[in-house]
Structure 1
Amino acid sequence: MANPATVADTKAKFTKGYPYPLPSIWATVLQELLVGMHFTVTSSKYQHEEMRSLGFVSVFDQLFEGYPTEDPNAKEKIFSTFMEALGEDSKKWRADAEKLSAFATEQTSIDGIIANPMFASMKSKVESKSLVYDKFIAIGFFRALEMSKQTSPENLKKISEASGVTLEKINGDLGLYKSVLSRMNAAKELQAEVLERERRKTAERMEKKAAKDAKEVAETSD
């Protein structure tokens, strides 16, 4: 990009496109994702990668499992606004993630997975130093192995060799990914407990008010 958007520009676009408050847990993680993706897509070497789509969409969907909202379309509104803020096509990212998910699910061997032309393409980019690598590519690798039920260290090594991305990088980003998921799940459980306590307190207040109102009506009748 000749004049890439700044992080502030990207954040402002998201806020303008989705001007509704987000619970703190989701708001914090979403901002982190937005900043990370901003630096990826504004790289002068950036090219769209299906594997990145699979990784990012997987993380986003896991993040928004159990999202507390009465709007059934809230998740997709947030996703599309997120992508628009980055200047990306949300429908393409979803479609590519679904396409790669379907492909991985159908595979019965690691050889079937790495035969996909995208691996040769990525390796060529790595060798020419033109691949913009980020943690979502590593997560995409792992999800592809998960969906094909082939999550062994040996198969991850074969993915590394086929893509040209070092195993050290992949393992490092997968460790970070699992740590983030663990913290996110713990935060969601805490949030659920807080919401449940608030619901109980609200119900108790309503019961007391109803009892008080009933008593006042009875006293007035007397």
Structure 2
Amino acid sequence: MDKIRTVSDTRRAFYQYHTRPINSIYRQVVQELMVEMHLLSVHADFKQDPIYSVGVCQSFDQFMTGYQPEEDKNSIFNALCKAVEANPDDYRYQSATFLNFIEGKSAEDLINWLLNPVSENGLDENIVNSLKSVVERENFKYSRLFGIGFYTIINQLNPDLAKDEEKLAKLIAPYAEKLQLPVEKLKKDVDLYRSNLDKINQMLTVIAETIEASKKKRINMEKTEQKEEIN
């Protein structure tokens, strides 16, 4: 029997792929995403699908907004995926391809399509088959990242509907029933996601204001020093 990878194994692998230190402000975000992806990757009922891929990419991109140095972000994302023995290009491809595919659809049409995915508009057959397996699987493994991906998709198509709990619940009811989605859990996951995004945005605003104030202070000090030299 193959030994099941531990969180420690995944963490070690991550730092082999990404050797630079993680900016302290974002360290917890990276650690939590790493652990979540790890626990799913070793779960017997889990399989990567395009909606989950949207959730992973969206979570990473949103929570890593403003990361410095900017060029490290891609390395960190790649390391997260490789550490759980996944291909980062697959995540990016599935996410981007599916989001492009749904563009122009109504939320209602999308839900109907998800219940019976068929190839259209040249959509990659692998993506179609992956989404078919989601609805056909007996033991679908729901995850917070799947919930975020699902919310992202609906929000892209109809932001107003995504904010209306009653209409959203009615819309997704057939899909939720088919997958036996824990609707209350999904709602809590989405609410927490939006709340954390607000906190990140507030933090970035404070950081930007602090940096700007520091620049102004430095400029004023330099002007004062120049005047003193002249006098």
TM-score normalized by structure 2? 0.79
Aligned equivalents of 1:140, 1:41: Cα separation in 2: 17
Greater shift in the superposed pair: 21-30 or 135-144: 21-30
Provide the residue aligned with 1:12 in structure 2: 12
> Does the 8 Å contact 1:17/1:81 carry over to 2?
yes
Rg larger for = 1
> Does the 8 Å contact 1:122/1:163 carry over to 2?
yes
Gaps of 5+ in 2: 118-129
- Counterpart selection for 1:123 from 128, 135, 144: 135
Count the aligned residue pairs.
Answer: 210
Aligned equivalents of 2:136, 2:74: Cα separation in 1: 34
> Does the 8 Å contact 2:50/2:131 carry over to 1?
no
Provide the residue aligned with 1:184 in structure 2: 200
Provide the residue aligned with 2:36 in structure 1: 36
Aligned equivalents of 2:222, 2:17: Cα separation in 1: 37
CA offset at residue 136 of structure 1? 0.8
| Superposition map of 1:124-203 within 5 A | 124-125=136-137, 128-129=138-139, 131-149=140-158, 150-151=161-162, 152-153=167-168, 154-203=170-219
CA offset at residue 200 of structure 1? 3.3
Matched, 1:91 2:89: yes
TM-score normalized by structure 1? 0.81
Identity rate, percent: 24
Per-residue Cα deviation, 1:143-195 (whole angstroms, up to 9, x for no partner): 11112215242223344234331322211211221222122222222222333
SS of alignment partner, residue 103 of structure 2: helix
RMSD in angstroms over aligned alpha carbons?
Answer: 2.5
Per-residue Cα deviation, 1:45-96 (whole angstroms, up to 9, x for no partner): 3321111001111111111222233x4x332222112211121100000000
One-letter amino acid matched to 2:95:
A
SS of alignment partner, residue 16 of structure 1: helix
Gaps of 5+ in 1: none
Aligned equivalents of 1:202, 1:35: Cα separation in 2: 41
Greater shift in the superposed pair: 60-69 or 195-204: 195-204
SS of alignment partner, residue 115 of structure 1: helix
> Does the 8 Å contact 2:41/2:84 carry over to 1?
yes
